[in-house]
Amino acid sequence: MKTNPIRLPILFSIILLLASCGEAPLTPTSTSIPIIPSEIATITAAKDNYLPTFEAKMTLWASQTAAPTTIPTATPTLVRGNPSAVINAATITDLQLRKEFSLGSSVYSVSFSQASSLLAAAPWKGEIKLWNATTLRRIETAVIAEPASQLISQAPDQISVVKTGDVFDLTTGDLLSSFTGYVFGGKSGVSSDGRMIAVSSASKLLYENIDVWDLINKKRVITLYGDWATGDPHGWPVPYYVFFSPDDSLLVATLNDGSTIIWDVASGERVQEFESAAALVFSHDGTKLATSLPGGRIGVYDISTWKPVNTYIASTSTWSAVFTPDDELLIVGTREESNTIWDWKTGDLVHTISPNGSQLLLSPDGTLLVTYNDGSDDIYLWGVP
């Protein structure tokens, strides 16, 4: 059969036209959350109310790869609502789901820029997506996520990507800084100004001491020592989730057996240890620390005395938490049907939001809340109208 040569230019034009259309505008996905494979919920036998094991997460994320897509050109819907409406005790019952969208692969890391103007999400491996946080207009990125890439912010309107030993600008791909070490499986702590990062000093991920690096001067500031640095490198416990206090004076390491160690960053001295409390988050004023306790309990500690202010039952398993900007309420991330919001002083349940998210992120200006589930590609953006 012969091909009509007159039809070829027409066919070629059609192909070019289709290729120029690009990606369709982002549209809400189903409100149902995919059932997470059982391995992501694997918990240590001794502490089954704590965070999932690092190895279980790696098994799931390693199988996920995001397919590159083009940037949508259609005008998006305004989603932010009232930019002056801070999420707090007075507005919490007005909190609404503003947007639901898909990363296209399992969400590994999410970050706002310091001015809350940008929102980025990275999979375990593949394309990192960046949005204007007000309009959700996609912004082109120049960096592809490698396994365990973490998103951080070092400037008001900028987001960086931390890979093993290097920090890149997400939009330009420029190398911003370098360090020696590995990011932690749950989260490597970054100071409030984005200048310092706490990473594992190990030759193998997670199994030695914690190094604090100055990313501006590319220098190691201090090494914080833990008991896990001796003995079997594949034994327990090891650091899983690391974060700074709001004033960057303390560094907290939650271990994957549900215990916690807290250091003074300047001196390197341990200031507190909890054998059965997995630290989750500081209050914004830096005076309280929320922890996950056995039996689905939440504990809030006063850091001036390191004694509990209150403990209460929040869920069967608490994965994360954030204080509202006024520090009056605690939003808890779980695997249950809804996220619960508590008056941590009284232990009273104030509000719930659904669909749920086991991981939570509050924008620096306190007007937006991101929720998502490990192992899912769905991201939920919440705000006050």
191-213 tens-digit pLDDT = 998 999 998 876 544 456 889 99
Per-residue pLDDT band for 238 (boundaries 50, 70, 90) equals confident
What would the pLDDT profile of 260-274 be if each residue is shown by its tens digit? 999 999 999 999 999
Q: What is the 3-state secondary structure (H, E, C) of the chain?
A: CCCCCCHHHHHHHHHHHHHHCCCCCCCCCCCCCCCCCHHHHCCCCCCCCCCCCHHHHHHHHCCCCCCCCCCCCCCCCCCCCCCCCCCCCCCHHHCEEEEEEECCCCEEEEEECCCCCEEEEEECCEECEEEECCCCCEECCCCEECCCCEEEEEECCEEEEEECCEEEECCCCCEEEECCCECCCCECCECCCCCEEEEECCCCCCCCCEEEEECCCCEEEEEECCHHHCCCCCCCCCEEEEEECCCCCEEEEEECCCCEEEEECCCCCEEEEECCCEEEEECCCCCEEEEEEHHHEEEEEECCCCEEEEEEECCCCEEEEEECCCCCEEEEEECCCCEEEEECCCCEEEEEECCCCCEEEECCCCCEEEEECCCCCEEEEEECC
Maximum alpha-carbon separation in the chain: 87
Output the pTM of the full model.
Answer: 0.77
Using alpha carbons, select from 151, 78, 79, 139 the residue that is nearest to residue 109. 151
Q: What is the pLDDT of residue 101?
A: 87
Is residue 254 one of the residues assigned to a domain?
yes
Is residue 20 one of the residues assigned to a domain?
no
Percent of the chain with pLDDT over 70: 73
Is residue 8 one of the residues assigned to a domain?
no
Is residue 177 one of the residues assigned to a domain?
yes
Task: Show the domain range for 353.
Answer: 33-71+86-383
What would the pLDDT profile of 305-350 be if each residue is shown by its tens digit? 999 999 988 877 788 999 999 999 999 998 888 899 999 999 999 9
Is residue 80 one of the residues assigned to a domain?
no
Looking at the 3D structure of the chain, how many domains does it have? Answer: 1
Mean pLDDT, range 71-88, rounded to an integer: 54
Is residue 169 one of the residues assigned to a domain?
yes
Is residue 23 one of the residues assigned to a domain?
no
Task: Say yes or no to pLDDT of 73 above 80.
Answer: no
- Which domain CATH number covers 239? 2.130.10.10
Contacts of 323 (CB under 8 A, 6+ apart): 281, 282, 283, 284, 288, 290, 329, 330, 331, 344
Total residues belonging to the chain:
385
Cα distance between residue 251 and residue 225, in whole Å: 12
Q: What is the pLDDT of residue 356?
A: 85
Task: Say yes or no to pLDDT of 13 above 70.
Answer: no
Q: What is the pLDDT of residue 190?
A: 93
Residue 288 · residue 279 · CB < 8 Å? no
Cα distance between residue 245 and residue 281, in whole Å: 8
Is residue 27 one of the residues assigned to a domain?
no
Task: Say yes or no to pLDDT of 169 above 70.
Answer: yes
Residue matched to tokens 């700074």: 244
Q: What is the pLDDT of residue 228?
A: 59
